[in-house]
Structure 1
Amino acid sequence: MTQGILYVLHGRRNKVPQANLALLRTLRQELPLPQALGFLEGEQQTLEAAFTQLQQQVDEVIVVPVLLFAATHVRQDLPQRLQAIQQPNVTVTLLEPLATTNAIFEHLQRQLIGACQQAPQRPVLLIAHGTPHFAEPYRQLRQLASKLQATVAVPVNAANYIGDHRFTELLATQGEPPIVQRLFLTDGRIAGKIKQAIQQQVPTALFLPTLENQAAVKQAILERLTAVRVLEKV
């Protein structure tokens, strides 16, 4: 069975985002498999166009969501849109998104250890996008926060941008200015709005970089591919 890899990114409605594309370009150069990249939003490099191109070359498409948590895009949009144009002779393997990989955990651990040395005793605020539709993303975020807290020995609190457990509500309970880790793949509009809102409420909060252009994203993708034994076949 011939395999191909489809990387799926969120995208934007009016343009192709550039963040993390360089990481994917290096990955695509390193792996000797048919590969394609598609965006969930926008009219350029669409998910459907990328999938159509790839399934003409292979018998199995390994779908890698370059996303962090399994919310609406992963649990509903992706399978429904792929199934609508899937050829009968092609199988699809949809991998889990990246937030629960060891690569992402180890990257965040390094960032938090460094920040806690710079600003001892400050609590950490781990902020993800959130969703009002699924419980799984926040449960995974809480587990990640608990795992990180065990390694940095300060409180690591989990919060969302939308849905329940909003970061604005949690900020009011913080005794010290927090170390803020925005768990986003790009340092874009939403990450910027979060930073601005926190700075208005807590001007001395310490902000750590997002996952934009971080090597951990590439390592997380390789970890997912290794788990389904794709790399053993190349």
Structure 2
Amino acid sequence: MDAVVYIGHGSRIMEGNNQFIAFIEEVKKEINISVQEIAFLELASPSIDETMEKIIMAGAREILVVPVLLFAAAHFKRDIPEELLAVKERFPEVSFYVSKPFDLHPKMIDLVLKRIEEKRLKNDGAILLVGRGSSDPEPIGKLKEISKHVQQKLDCPVYPAFLTAGQPGFIDELEKLQLEYNKIYVVPYLLFTGRLLKRMESKIENSEKEVILCHPLKYDCFMKEVLVEKMEEQLMSLVKECLA
């Protein structure tokens, strides 16, 4: 493998982009490939096209593409493949190998538990696990599965909600839970500090009941371990193909 390109979502808030860059710098230490670069899907630079052109012009022909995404939704299924196809049309001699998103890895559930335990000192209240949401039903179902796993682990009520698309919506679900519970722990199932998190903070500040906002996932060490594992799985599958 000649190079690795890590693809982040990108944010208008620079803090979120810096969090991604710092995370990838730690991941790079675990990967024995000399050329490792980053790219963003939107809202930040460099773009996928810019990064790919840079490393291809420097000689890369086999490239491991690492989407740093929570689930396989539209960005993974449509946007990244379209970007890579456009690059492939310009540089047909180049091969791309794409690793999978974090998905339902057990360490992602452990990370949710960690974020809850940072704020929840005793077994009280309800937990609201909030994802970005999607028009694709797959990530909606996956977040609901994570909620069930967390509920089983903690033996307390855990409710899923979504910020942009998917039901139930965050605001409606938070208002409903405030009628039932005096204390609610809100866990943002988001990768970084961004506009969605700021919107959540604003809503929570105006809550009548005690609503405690936990930290977002924030590219934790658990996530580094999962990402490296996903990369190694993709590389191993290529070795098996060569030996077959």
Same fold, judged at TM 0.5 (above): yes
Cα distance, 1:129 vs. partner?
A: 0.6
Contact 2:186 / 2:212 at 8 angstroms: preserved in 1? yes
Query: Secondary structure at the residue paired with 2:110?
Result: helix
- Letter paired with 1:170: E
Cα distance, 1:215 vs. partner?
A: 2.0
> Cα 1:112–1:207, aligned 2, differ >3 Å: closer, same or farther?
same
- Letter paired with 1:126: L
> Cα 1:222–1:73, aligned 2, differ >3 Å: closer, same or farther?
same
Query: Secondary structure at the residue paired with 2:159?
Result: strand
Aligned to 1:135: 137
Mapped to 2, the partners of 1:90 and 1:78 lie a distance apart of 16
Cα distance, 1:58 vs. partner?
A: 3.4
2:194 aligned with 1:188: yes
2:218 aligned with 1:212: yes
Percent identity among equivalent residues? Answer: 21
Cα distance, 1:210 vs. partner?
A: 0.8
Contact 2:72 / 2:103 at 8 angstroms: preserved in 1? no
Mapped to 2, the partners of 1:195 and 1:60 lie a distance apart of 43
Mapped to 1, the partners of 2:133 and 2:110 lie a distance apart of 22
Contact 2:186 / 2:214 at 8 angstroms: preserved in 1? yes
Q: What is the correspondence of 1:31-50 to structure 2 with a 5 Å cutoff? A: 31-33=31-33, 34-42=35-43, 44-50=45-51
RMSD: 2.4
Q: Which has the larger helix fraction? A: 2
Contact 1:19 / 1:212 at 8 angstroms: preserved in 2? yes
Mapped to 1, the partners of 2:220 and 2:26 lie a distance apart of 13
2:126 aligned with 1:123: yes
Cα distance, 1:230 vs. partner?
A: 5.3
Cα distance, 1:92 vs. partner?
A: 1.7
Which runs of no fewer than 5 residues in structure 1 stay unpaired? none
Cα distance, 1:203 vs. partner?
A: 4.7
> Cα 1:18–1:43, aligned 2, differ >3 Å: closer, same or farther?
closer
Q: Once the two structures are superposed, what CA deviation does each residue of 1:62-98 show, in whole Å capped at 9, x if it has no partner? A: 2111121222221111100111111323222222222
- Letter paired with 1:225: M
> Cα 1:103–1:60, aligned 2, differ >3 Å: closer, same or farther?
farther
Contact 2:128 / 2:159 at 8 angstroms: preserved in 1? yes
Cα distance, 1:115 vs. partner?
A: 4.2
> Cα 1:211–1:43, aligned 2, differ >3 Å: closer, same or farther?
closer
TM-score (normalizing by structure 1): 0.87
> Cα 1:95–1:31, aligned 2, differ >3 Å: closer, same or farther?
closer
2:232 aligned with 1:226: yes
Mapped to 2, the partners of 1:159 and 1:206 lie a distance apart of 16
Aligned to 1:25: 25
> Cα 1:80–1:231, aligned 2, differ >3 Å: closer, same or farther?
closer
Mapped to 1, the partners of 2:7 and 2:207 lie a distance apart of 35
2:95 aligned with 1:91: yes
Query: Secondary structure at the residue paired with 1:162?
Result: strand
Out of 29, 34, 59, which is 2:61 matched to? 59
Contact 2:13 / 2:195 at 8 angstroms: preserved in 1? no
Cα distance, 1:26 vs. partner?
A: 2.5
Q: Once the two structures are superposed, what CA deviation does each residue of 1:91-143 show, in whole Å capped at 9, x if it has no partner? A: 22222222423332222123334544x14231110001112x21011011011
TM-score (normalizing by structure 2): 0.84
> Cα 1:42–1:110, aligned 2, differ >3 Å: closer, same or farther?
closer
Cα distance, 1:232 vs. partner?
A: 11
